[in-house]
Amino acid sequence: MRRELVLVFGARVTWAVAALVAAVVGHSFVLAVDLYGQASASVAAGSLAAREFEPLLAVLRPTVGGWSFCVTLIGPVLAARVLAAEKDRRTFHARLLALGSGRRLMVRKLLAAWLGLLLLAAPIVLCALVWAASGGHIDVSESLVVLLGVVLHAGWIAAVSTAAAAWSGSTPQATALALLLCVSPWILDAAGEFAALAWLAPVQRLSISPHLAGFERAVLQPGAVLWLVVAVLGALALACIGARDDWTRRRRGGAAALVGAVSLAALLVGDRWRGGWDLSEAGHSSLPLAIADAVAELPAPLVLDIGLDRDDARRAQLEQDVVLRLELVRPDLVVRFPFDAAAADAGSRGDAYGRILVQVGDRAVETWSTSRRELITLLFEAAQRPMPAWEYPPYAGHPRVLGGGARSAIAVVVYLLVPLLLGAMALSRPGERAR
């Protein structure tokens, strides 16, 4: 691994990019802290309750969002270079002969690229430590879930970039292909907002974004973990096939198609695994405990027919506020969107538009309300069972107003010290070729 690590950490470009990412992540963190402090001041004035302040959503999540944006656009440049540099230097085949196995070489390249991308994630941990040192609240459990998502996201980018480099002939080709593959989920996510593109729904489930969203809310979903692990292993297998220059094009193409089909099937299995655990301190992504236990005991099938199309803001709110909470306790929940089956304009929607049909067992009730409590109440009404008391466990909240000195210290650390340190590392690199 020494050669691979030298290609990553011995390169000036790695540390220069790390300095740039640190500045962007630090800026996201400072903005989040400023907004959080301004809102926290309203607690003293009595306009907002302290329980409304969650550092996870208001501070840590925006910070991770800044990193995700940077690593998606810049990460492929660093990750693809680990393998593509060997082809530029015409040492790739010599490395294959020396190791005697393309699989061993691909694994080493993937691990080195992964570690390089985790270097870019170090500012997230630093910002969290700075927040804690300034008196901000950090919950260990929810923070670990968020960091797990960061690690898996970095692994996915590293694997995709390694596969792109294995099938490319030079660094520019590898970088362009890796960047295209890593940015493509954004295109799918954007298309998912339009009713006219509802037919893309099956393809959109192959986007990485929905499977990372839970980690940002401290929701641990085994299905999402499985999906990301399968995606990494599938990309690694494709990289191993791409490295087999001794195979004919037909054989490589057939092997790649087979691996792609197997990976696709495994990804779909992971996508259908809906259960999980809300590890956030406030429990903001779950139902009250008594309600959740009672919902878990309702008879099957549990079905929601939601008569809203993708252009309707109520649908997104309903999916986030109700569907995701129900799926944590009822992985067998069936959610259907009738208006996705065929494109329908506003004039042809009919009276059924906006209707939500709630079915439990062989009984069904309907409503036009998107209220979480109303829909949960209808679940128990359809099941003809009493609903337990709607009581969330107490959450004190963690408002925090930073003084001028603490605010200045944070700005100095994230804007100056960290980028300058990483920039100094870049300038100190000898820039020698790996040996």
Query: Considering only CA atoms, which of 287, 296, 298 is closest in space to residue 382?
Result: 298
pLDDT at 342: 57
Other CB atoms within 10 Å distance of the CB of residue 332:
11
Max mean pLDDT range (102-111, 202-211, 230-239, 417-426):
230-239
Between CA 116 and CA 158 the distance in angstroms is 9
Residue 241 contacts by C-beta under 8 Å, 6 or more apart in sequence? Answer: 166, 247, 252, 255, 256, 259
Q: What is the pTM of this model?
A: 0.89
pLDDT at 148: 96
The answer to whether 309 and 198 have CB atoms below 8 angstroms apart is yes
Pairing between β-strand 334-336 and β-strand 302-306 as defined by DSSP bridges: parallel
For domain 289-383, the CATH class is alpha beta
Max mean pLDDT range (102-106, 362-366, 396-400):
362-366
Region 173-192 average pLDDT: 85
User: Which band of pLDDT confidence, cut at 50, 70 and 90, is reported for residue 435?
Assistant: very low
Region 185-200 average pLDDT: 67
Between CA 422 and CA 435 the distance in angstroms is 24
Give the percent of the chain with pLDDT over 90: 44
pLDDT at 198: 58
Q: Is the pLDDT of residue 344 over 60?
A: no
User: Which band of pLDDT confidence, cut at 50, 70 and 90, is reported for residue 303?
Assistant: very high
pLDDT in tens, 226-255: 999 999 999 999 999 988 887 888 898 999
User: Which band of pLDDT confidence, cut at 50, 70 and 90, is reported for residue 425?
Assistant: confident
Q: Which of 158-162, 201-205, 386-390 has the lowest mean pLDDT?
A: 201-205
The answer to whether 67 and 93 have CB atoms below 8 angstroms apart is no
pLDDT at 349: 65
pLDDT in tens, 43-89: 766 656 777 788 999 999 999 999 999 999 999 999 999 898 888 88
Pairing between β-strand 356-360 and β-strand 302-306 as defined by DSSP bridges: antiparallel
Residue 86: its H or E element? helix 61-88
Domain boundary assignment for the chain:
2-278+400-428, 289-383
Dmax (CA) of the chain: 74
pLDDT in tens, 114-153: 999 999 999 999 999 999 988 889 999 999 999 999 999 9
Q: Is the pLDDT of residue 18 over 50?
A: yes
pLDDT at 434: 41
pLDDT at 173: 92
Region 14-40 average pLDDT: 89
Residue 5: its H or E element? helix 2-9
Other CB atoms within 10 Å distance of the CB of residue 17:
22
